[in-house]
Amino acid sequence: MRPAQSPRLRKQFVGFITIISLAIILVVNKQNDYNDRDYPSPEIHSLRSQNESRNESLEDPCGLWRRKFPSHKPSNTSSFFNCDSIDGKCQYFYPTRFFDSECGIGKDYIDFIKTAKHLQQNGTLWSPPNPYVPLPKVSMTSKDGKQNVITGLPFITQNISFIHVHKTGGTSLVSAFTQVTRKNKFKGQRYMIYNQVKLGTDAYKMGINATSKILDGAVTYQDEWGLNDLLVTAVLRDPIDRFVSAVGQAMGGKGSSLTQTGEAATYRTSCKKNTIPETLRCSIDFILANSTFWELHFTPMALELSFGTMYKNVPVAVFPFEVVPKYLEELGGSSKKQLKMGSTSRAKLLKTMNSTHLDQDMIRDVCNIYIVDVIMMRSLGWEVPRCDKYVTKD
């Protein structure tokens, strides 16, 4: 026989059952309302979001790419090296973005990168022995009140490095980095990008690892510089003028003249003609037949920038060739002492060589040999007018 329940307990039990029933009814009605409105279930909603994201990427295949490479934060500091300032004379260029296989402006030329990497790994990039390829760095500081002897202005705090893109005034600038470091007792070092002679040695591996580490700190210009922050810079030149200068270099300039084997030696023997136009025409034909990978100074500038940043996703502040004198002055170097690499060892014929010796057929061929540089410079807002007839603008 069950014990009798008190009226009070029975009343509480009935109330509890009533509350539970009402809750169930509310849930059912809410679910029916959810279904009546044709809302997707959480699983369907998640799937729909994925599909929408996928459709978005199909409609704009570079949308995800843009998020992969976010824009930089502009600096307000006034400096020749700050591409965002009025005094800045540069543009930021990202080699990895440019050559990105999906959405890069230079994606059609990604094979340049693949070939360079392969040749670099097996030691056949450029005919040996080639000059040591450096990456000089200087950390300037305003703390001691040191003045730039050329401009008369105090140095400002900034960490600057330089990729030596060949035949763009780089020899003078590399030298200026050394001088500004020594004269002002700034912290500085010359890192190694490539040293064909020491390839595979422990010293080479240590040098490359050190360079890779500092490049990981590459940034756009900063208002406040961290210890590892580094602005990587370079100079670009009109591809046609640069090519003519490279011919004179490859024919007997310091560094190139050391090369006694392979295509480089064959080139010097076969293309040293009696007239400048003949020499230029032969040089063009030789490159068309053998590519540019056999001679360092004929390498496209876009490839040198990728090579000089060790193919990392980092920004490079690129300056036009015309401001090299100003760049030298910013380092405390005289623009009147711009070096001419190998000029004393070249024949008179090569010293007087310039782009006016090129006919239209030769200009067309040079524009196509260096089409990747033409596209790169246009992407920076710098025109290459002599190539307009031969390289279409998309």
Judged by average pLDDT, the poorest of 123-132, 167-176, 232-241, 368-377 is 123-132
Average pLDDT over the chain reads: 83
Task: Name the 3-class secondary structure at 90.
Answer: coil
Neighbours of 313 (CB within 10 A): 13
pLDDT of residue 43: 36
Task: Name the 3-class secondary structure at 392.
Answer: coil
- Bridge partners for 135 per DSSP: 191
pLDDT of residue 339: 56
User: 139-195 pLDDT, tens per residue?
Assistant: 999 888 899 999 999 999 999 999 999 999 999 999 999 999 999 999 999 999 887
Judged by average pLDDT, the poorest of 56-65, 97-106, 261-270 is 56-65
Nearest CA to 243 out of 293, 285, 300, 288 is that of 300
Question: What's at 126, amino acid-wise?
Answer: W
Nearest CA to 263 out of 288, 240, 280 is that of 288
User: 237-266 pLDDT, tens per residue?
Assistant: 999 999 999 999 898 777 665 666 788 889
pLDDT of residue 41: 39
Q: What are the phi and psi torsion angles at 175 (to 5°)?
A: -65, -40
Q: Confidence band (pLDDT; 50, 70, 90) for 88?
A: very high
Nearest CA to 291 out of 43, 39, 109 is that of 109
pLDDT of residue 204: 83
Q: What percent of the chain has pLDDT over 70?
A: 77
pLDDT of residue 200: 76
| pLDDT beyond 90 at 124 | no
Most confident of 29-33, 63-67, 72-76, 369-373: 369-373
Higher model confidence: residue 175 or residue 4?
Answer: 175
- Bridge partners for 261 per DSSP: none
Nearest CA to 166 out of 296, 21, 67 is that of 296
Cα 97 → chain centroid: 8
The residue with tokens 């070096």 is 339
Average pLDDT of the residues in 270-282: 95
Higher model confidence: residue 210 or residue 351?
Answer: 210
In 111-254, the DSSP E strands lie at: 133-140, 158-162, 187-194, 231-236
